[in-house]
Amino acid sequence: ELLDWLAREFIREGWSTKKLVRKLVLSATFCQDSRKASDVDPYNRLLSFYPTRRLEAESIRDALLAVSGRLDAQLYGRAILPFRTAEDGAKRLFTGPLDGNGRRSIYLQMSIMEPPKFLTGFNLPDLKLPTGRRDATNVPSQALMLLNDPFVSAMAKHWAQQLGQKQQVNTDERIGGMFSRAFSRPPNKAEQQRWATALQDLGGDTPAAWEQLAHAFFNAKEFIYYR
């Protein structure tokens, strides 16, 4: 009966897929907490919830820019050369700014000889081959990239600087703001205490400690996975 009703609505609204999707995602059923469904249907045999999945390579890079406050939301413009540790003039492989001037990944210049390494690490499709569906791997090199890549470190530093510019904000409020910005939710009491303790272990209320804490947020699974 539900499918029949949706089919009639689909026809009535001019066969508009956008209107149908809008109707679905604004429904009370869609807005329910999927964690409750996972308790009843842990193996998702009834397709009661969307499985947890990792962000695509470009989305991870863009999220780092957005959360750190470095994202340039301007539309259009010339392509930006990706950052490279070594240039090769013969192959026309030149380096660009580490953060791509804050531009979204869609504006990064691609080269089949050497694609952006950060994106490649998170399953950017092979530029030499047509790819109908991306791979979604979970390998140790990705965790190491989030730990050691200079781009990630630079975004953590920029985020810490942004936090330092906010006046009259105590530690708990600042950590709560970081949760909201990185995970789109407030922390619970246990998380608030855990991250506050981590800040003290990192050196207390200092720029270096906040930078390391920001780096830890970027390395949390919740940052690159969503459900």
pLDDT per residue of the chain (227 residues) written in tens, 0 to 9: 999 999 999 999 999 999 999 999 899 878 777 677 778 888 888 887 777 889 999 999 999 999 999 999 999 999 999 999 888 888 888 999 999 999 999 999 999 888 999 999 999 998 988 888 888 888 899 999 999 999 999 999 999 999 888 766 789 999 999 999 999 999 999 999 999 999 999 988 899 999 999 999 999 999 999 86
Strand partners of residue 225: 54
Strands 53-54 and 225-226, bridge-based pairing = antiparallel
**How confident is the model at residue 144, as a pLDDT?**
94
Between vectors from CA 198 to CA 197 and to CA 201, what angle results, nearest 5°? 90
Round to whole Å and give the CA distance between 201 and 195.
10
Contact 36, 28 (CB under 8 A): no
The single-letter code of the amino acid at 142 is: Q
Q: Kindly tell me the sign of the dihedral angle through the C-alpha atoms of 28, 32, 36, 40.
A: positive
Phi, psi for residue 225 in degrees, rounded to 5: -115, 150
57 class by beta-carbon count within 10 Å (0-12 exposed, 13-18 middle, 19+ buried): buried
pLDDT of residue 51: 79
Gyration radius from the chain CA atoms: 21
Who's near 184: CB < 8 A, 6+ residues apart? none
Query: Of 188, 189, 169, 176, nearest to 217 (Cα)?
Result: 176
Distance CA 23, CA 29 (A): 11
Q: What is the distance between the alpha carbons of residues 196 and 17, in angstroms, rounded to a whole number? A: 46
Evaluate whether 219 touches 143 at the Cβ level (below 8 Å): yes
Among residues 33, 66, 61, 43, which one has the least CA distance to residue 224? 61
